[in-house]
Amino acid sequence: MKSTALISQSEVLAAIDMREALAAVEEMFRQHGQRNVQMPATVYLDLPRGDLRAMPAYAPTLELAAIKNINMHPGNVDGPSIIGTLTLFDPQTGFPLAIMDATAITRLRTGAASGVATRLLARADAQVLSLIGAGNQALTQLEAILLVRPRIEHVLIHDQDSERAVAFARLATDRFGVVVQVANTAEEAVRPADILTTLTPARDPIVRAEWIKPGVHINAIGADAAGKQELVSSLTAAARIVVDDLEQATHSGEVNVPIKEGTLTTAGIHAELGQLVAGLKSGRVTATDMTLFDSTGLALQDLACAAQVYRKLSGTSQELQRFDFLK
C-alpha cells in the first residue's frame, strides 16, 4: 500500500540549508534557461485580505512534479504573512509522494534566487548590502547574499516598523557575524549600497533613481502581483534588467507597472536568469552597470528545494509521518 509522507516545517529546515538551496535553485534556473521544464502560469485567487496562489511545475531531470499553494496576507499580525504547503508528485503515476510545509521553502528559495542573481550580476568587490524590509524574507536574503559575496562588510536595514528593524539587526548580527545597522530612512539605506534588496509589498515606489550610485546591483523581490512596484519606473528602465521568468514578470514583477505605463517595453529586458546560468546571455559588462534582478518567485524554485528535502529525508532512517492516500 502506497502512502504519502507528511513533512513538517522543522523537518524541512533540518533537511536543507542555504548552500544546498543555492545549488538546487541554480540548477533549476539552468533547466529553465534551456527550456527543459514545464511551468504553467501561477493561478491567483483574490481573497478579502490577501490572495491564494497555485504554482505548478515539472522538471524531467528531477523526475518529480509539484504544486505549491501559497497564501499572501501581509496584514497578518498573529502569524506569518506567507503560509504555504507543497505537494510533490511522481510524474509517472501521479501519486502524491509528500505533502510538506512550504513556508520555509518559500523563504529559502527566494533567498537562493537572489543569491544566484547576485553572484552573476553584482560586482565582486561589493562591500555594502542594504535591505529595505525586515520581514520574514529578510534573513534568508541576507544569508544567501553573504554566501555569494563574502567580502560584504556592512549591512544596512530599513523598515517602516523601526522596532522590527532593530530586532532584525540584532538577530542578523548574532547569526552571521556581520555589522548590521538600522537606517532611519530608505534614502539613508540606499545611497551607500553596492547591493540593494527590496522586500516590501509596496504599490507606490519607495526607491528613487537619484539615490542609486553607479555599479549597484538591485534584487527587487517585493513586487509579486499586478500593480506592485518598489522602484520608481525611470530607475527600472535605466537598469540592465534580468527577470526570473519573462511572462510572469511582465504580469506581476517589478517591471509590470513600467510596462503598463509605457516607460519600459519587453525589448528593454535583457535576459531571464536561467539564460545567464546556462551561459546563453551575459550578465554584468562593466563596473558601472546598474543591474536589476526582478524576482517574482517560480514554482520551479520550490520544486528544486522540495526535491532536496524529500530525497534527503527518504534516504535516512527518520520515520516520517504518513497517511494512506489510496485504498
Catalytic residues: 68
**How buried is residue 3: exposed, middle or buried, by Cβ count under 10 Å (0-12/13-18/19+)?**
middle
Q: Which is it for strands 64-72 and 50-59: parallel, antiparallel or unpaired?
A: antiparallel
Find the angle CA(238)-CA(243)-CA(247) to the nearest 5 degrees: 115
**How buried is residue 114: exposed, middle or buried, by Cβ count under 10 Å (0-12/13-18/19+)?**
buried
The three grid cell numbers given for residue 240, joined into one nine-digit string? 540592465
**Cα distance between residue 196 and residue 129, in whole Å:** 6
Torsion of CA 280, 284, 290, 295, to 10 degrees: 40
Q: Which is it for strands 3-7 and 321-324: parallel, antiparallel or unpaired?
A: antiparallel
Report the SS3 class of residue 47. strand
